[in-house]
């Protein structure tokens, strides 16, 4: 009976020793657990709240991933299409990057802004003036004489003051400060 108690005690001690070594050898996984960010998209900016213990973030837009330390990222894409966006938070633990699960996913869609060409002015010679109708969405007009830009004007008339005898070809191009509108073709001569 004494031998059985000794064997039981030895077995219990042996089990406790292995459990103790196992606990010492195993690292507490909660030390390096990191929460996944929750992202939102406004226009072309994806943002999220700071993740506690995170030292950086991997932002993935489509197939491209960038590594940043900020809690927002401006998407600069020039090719039309829809792009899935996600963020992974990470921290460094003994030289190893420990990553969170991926954030929720959002979709960024880019389409090139539509542009419209301004109507070309139709000029009329009126004495020493060249006149044209105002062009909708134009903010100024570029007046050229014989192919050389002479002046930028904000009105729809140009006083022609050349006194040398000769032939002068005057053209006008409508311009806009609104990026939705591109410059017009040249006017008639």
Question: Pairing mode, if any, of strands 56-61 and 81-93?
Answer: antiparallel
* Rounded (10°) CA dihedral 133, 135, 139, 140: -50
Q: Name residues whose C-beta falls within 8 Å of residue 50's C-beta, 6 or more positions apart in sequence.
A: 71
Flag whether the pTM goes above 0.75: no
pLDDT at residue 20 is higher than 70: no
pLDDT digits (tens, 9 = 90+) for 112-170: 888 899 999 999 888 778 899 999 999 999 998 888 888 898 998 888 776 677 778 88
What span, in angstroms and rounded, lies between the C-alpha atoms of 111 and 65?
21
């Amino acid at each position: 009976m004494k031998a059985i108690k000794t064997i039981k005690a030895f077995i219990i001690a042996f089990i406790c020793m292995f459990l103790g070594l196992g606990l010492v050898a195993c690292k507490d996984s909660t030390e390096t657990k990191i929460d996944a960010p929750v992202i939102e998209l406004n226009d072309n900016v994806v943002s999220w709240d700071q993740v506690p213990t995170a030292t950086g973030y991997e932002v993935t837009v489509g197939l491209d991933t960038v590594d940043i330390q900020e809690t927002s990222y401006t998407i600069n894409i020039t090719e039309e299409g829809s792009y899935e966006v996600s963020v992974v938070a990470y921290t460094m633990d003994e030289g190893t990057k420990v990553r969170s699960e991926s954030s929720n996913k959002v979709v960024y869609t880019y389409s090139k802004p539509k542009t419209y060409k301004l109507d070309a002015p139709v000029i009329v010679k009126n004495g020493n003036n060249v006149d044209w109708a105002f062009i909708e969405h134009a903010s100024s007009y570029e007046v050229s004489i014989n192919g050389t830009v002479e002046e930028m004007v904000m009105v729809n008339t140009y006083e022609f003051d050349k006194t040398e005898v000769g032939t002068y070809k005057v053209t006008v191009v409508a311009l806009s400060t609104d990026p939705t509108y591109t410059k017009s073709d040249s006017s008639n001569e």
